[in-house]
Amino acid sequence: MDKESIYKRVLDCAFEVHKTLGPGLLENTYKHCLAHELKIAGLNIEIEKEIPVIYKDVRLDCGYRIDILVENQIIIELKAVEKLTDIHLAQLLSYMKLSKINLGLLINFNTKYLIQGIKRVIL
């Protein structure tokens, strides 16, 4: 499946979660519900995927974790905050650079209309 098709399925799943739950819950709730929807949609996912830092040929676990990695091609970073800030974007960009994955989605579920809480990022 090509990256754009995966991306569209991810968006469909995110909209389904938001339509069902609405805003106001914890990020962890949205993460597990979205993971469930992605599995139903037939996508391979990893939750809390560790991203190591390679420093002078040594692999270090510095605590970086991707919320959801989809098909080893798209990073999803989830939030449930009043509004997305530059630090949220910087976090996603760091994960993308460290993992060498060039497509990421920053999704804030704490919005009345989910479309207002979605940011697509391409490296």
d(CA 14, CA 107): 8
The whole-number average pLDDT for the span 105-111 is 99
Q: What is the DSSP letter of 117?
A: G
The mean pLDDT value of the chain amounts to 97
Give me the number of domains the chain comprises.
Answer: 1
Supply the range of the domain harboring residue 112: 3-122
d(CA 26, CA 78): 10
Q: Is the pLDDT of residue 1 over 90?
A: no
pLDDT for the residue numbered 104: 98
- Residue 64: C-alpha distances to residues 19, 40, 79 (Å): 30, 27, 16
The whole-number average pLDDT for the span 27-41 is 99
The whole-number average pLDDT for the span 15-19 is 99
Determine what percent of the chain is predicted with pLDDT higher than 90: 98
> What is the chain's Cα-based Rg?
14
